[in-house]
Structures are given as structure tokens and as C-alpha cells.
Amino acid sequence: MSFTLKGTENLSVKEKYDFIKLFIKGQVRDESDSLALMANISAIIMALVSDLNWAGFYLVQGDQLVLGPFQGLPACTRLDYDKGVCAKAWRDKEPVLVEDVHAFPGHVACDSASNSELVIPLIKDGQVYGVLDLDSPKPARFTKDDQEEFVQIVEIFQDHLI
């Protein structure tokens, strides 16, 4: 699944990340509903970040992560605290970058086409309340630079959710 936001086709990767940040700043200024924000954030990420097959959110409910707004094929509805890349980001309160999800112990395969993954925890008042999950069919798709960009992106909106 891939689509492009008109007028952004020739932007560099850095310019696309800057565009995402600008878009999100406008969204959090004009919208207060968390679900609406997450839906638009996942859509803008999917539109501007290349080589993704899934971009979306999981939200903490008790001892599980529950599927939130996303772009991509249907996904696992619930993820347990003790297994998978998203759960590791939740437990450790740190981003997790996985070059090969098939080599990750306890990986939860929601989409067999996914080969690499980047997960950024959403933290408010010192507690993780969800994660931003990005999957790619391309092995080693995500770099430390991508991770840093997404940490900055999450910092813009995490205090405006939930």
C-alpha cells in the first residue's frame, strides 16, 4: 500500500520529515481529539515515508497494547506485555529499531510481509500509554537517523494524546 501526498514527490527525506513535523504541529494546535490526531498522524507518515507497509498506534490497556488508529493491512488487535517489538518499547520506555524482525526473539508477526520495524513509545508523566509502530517489507529499512526523526516527531504530539 502506497500513496503520495501531492506536491511532496520531489522532497528529500529530511524535507519530508520536516513536513511531517510541521503538519503535526498544525494538527495539535487545531485538534484535541486523540483518535483524530493519531489517525491523521499515521496517514501523513504513510504518505511521506517510503518503504512502509504499516504505520500506526497501539495503546496501553491493562497488561496489553490494543490496536489504535493505523494505515496498512489489518493488524494484531492485542499485544501482550511480555512479547514482541512493541512490548519491548513499552517495557523499556525506549525506542526499538529492529533490522530483521524474524531474528527478534518473541517477534509477533501481524503481517508476514514485514521484515524490519521501528517502535517509539508514547510517554506522558513518566508512563508509557502507547507506541508508534512502523513496519517495512524492506530488511534494515530504518536507520538511527530515522529513529531520531521519529523520536522528535513523537515529542511534538505525545503530550496532546490521551
Helix, coil or strand: residue 124? strand
**pTM value?**
0.94
What's the grid cell of residue 14?
A: 529530511
| Per-residue confidence (pLDDT) for residue 1, from 0 to 100 | 45
Q: Shortest CA distance to 118 belongs to which of 52, 23, 30?
A: 52
Mean of the per-residue pLDDT values of the chain:
93
What is the rounded CA–CA span in Å between residue 117 and residue 133?
Answer: 7
Quick one: average pLDDT of 2-20? 82
What pLDDT score was predicted for residue 59?
97
State the Rg of the chain over Cα: 15
Cell numbers representing residue 108 in the block = 509477533
Identify which has the larger pLDDT, 111 or 136.
Answer: 136
Taking the CA atoms of 131, 120, 53 and 109 in sequence, report the sign of the dihedral they define.
negative
Q: What is the pLDDT of residue 46?
A: 96
- pLDDT value, residue 2: 52
